[in-house]
Amino acid sequence: MSFLRASWENLVLVNYMIEPKVLSPYIPKGTELDLWNGKCYVSLVGFLFKNTKLLGLKIPFHVNFEEVNLRFYVKRKENNKWKRGVVFIKELVPKWALSFVANTIYKEHYQTVPMKNNISINNEILNVNYMWKINNKWHSIELNAEQECSLIEKESETEFITEHYWGYARVNDIRTNEYEVTHPRWVHHKIKDYKIKVDFEKVYGTEFSFLNNSKPNSVMLAKGSHITVGKRRKLSF
């Protein structure tokens, strides 16, 4: 049985180039940075959890909710094959139970904060807005996109960002947690415009303050799908 089953919907992915040295303290043992065309990325990602089940059960008031995370991309070689995955700097959710379980079992970095979203369609334009409150200040990522979806091109930047199927979390200097995320290949919407109102220093720490004055390398909106999150595997080195 999977640890978690849900649908991830309307995934906003805001991607920035970053110096690898900034991420060095966060790289789990046994993994290395995964680059696209020699570029190192960090992504601000917002999306909706829908119909969420933990160990096959719906937890009251923890079925439908938002998440916003900051993540980067790694890979790990096993049996001469590369596993491509993500590492989370911090994951924001409005539900305390998910934060408790993820932080306790998976050694992730969840924080429970007030959150809300607004998703609407007007004249075939899809508007997606995710908002969260930290230290009495609201932050947000908002975009407008074409309602119609298209396939993600192979070997594209969008494919790189969306096609990582493993999660890794640093436990300590010699231990790493690994888990598998499954979902079908996604489709995406063409972006019309976007607004990023985030104080990265306040939300993610001083090492990410430079993002306040950085223009995203790309902004994407994936339709999403049903997903599963597998049980934790402990790796020791």
- First vs last C-alpha separation in the chain: 27
What local confidence, expressed as pLDDT, does residue 215 receive? 97
Q: What is the mean pLDDT of residues 187-200?
A: 98
CA–CA separation, 68 vs 44, rounded Å? 7
Nearest to 192 by CA among 145, 152, 127: 145
Domain membership of residue 163 as a residue range? 4-236
Domain count, the chain: 1
Q: What's the burial of 237, exposed, middle or buried (CB within 10 Å: 0-12/13-18/19+)?
A: exposed
Q: With 90 as the cut, is the pLDDT of residue 46 above it?
A: yes
pLDDT (tens digit per residue) in 130-174: 999 999 999 999 999 999 999 999 999 999 999 999 999 999 999
CATH number at residue 63: 2.40.400.10
Which pTM does this prediction carry?
Answer: 0.95
